[in-house]
Amino acid sequence: MRLLREAHEFEYRDAAGIDRSGQADIWEVSSGERAVLVLRGLDGRGAGGERLNLLEQAGQARSYLSHSWLPFLVPHAQLDVLILHAGLNGKPRALSLPSDAQEGTAPGLTD
């Protein structure tokens, strides 16, 4: 795999219409058939301080990136999405965005 972009800062609008920010890395398999989008720094708090669903936030962020720079970097790749976040005990964790939350990715939720 090769790294195409590292720590790309982006903004997206969540389902509630609030502007949020995050960072993304994009990795591509040398054949160009598969790519991995790694999202981190997604804002998990709502306007009232409530905890938002991280998978929903990742779906919104992925949707934005799919219409902005992903088509230029990996136009024909099957995309898998990983979400890096701090777990309940503060340890780093990764979630995989399930296939029903995005088009053309591998199913599953791993934490």
Q: Count of H helices and E strands in the chain?
A: 2, 5
Q: What is the pLDDT of residues 22-53, one digit of tens each?
A: 999 999 998 889 999 999 998 766 655 455 68
User: How far, in Å, CA of 110 to CA of 94, rounded?
Assistant: 7
Total length of the chain: 111
User: How far, in Å, CA of 92 to CA of 51, rounded?
Assistant: 18
The rounded mean pLDDT for the chain is 82
Q: Which of 24-28, 54-58, 84-88, 101-105 has the lowest mean pLDDT?
A: 101-105
Which ranges of 1-111 would DSSP assign to H, the alpha helix? 54-67, 70-73
Q: pLDDT at position 50, please?
A: 52
User: How far, in Å, CA of 108 to CA of 83, rounded?
Assistant: 12
For tokens 């972009």, the residue is 5
User: How far, in Å, CA of 96 to CA of 94, rounded?
Assistant: 7
pLDDT over 90 at 3, yes or no: yes
DSSP state of 100: G
Coil, helix or strand at residue 80 = strand
Nearest to 61 by CA among 12, 7, 5, 19: 12
Q: Which amino acid is at 64?
A: Y
Q: For a pLDDT cut of 70, what percent of the chain falls above it?
A: 79
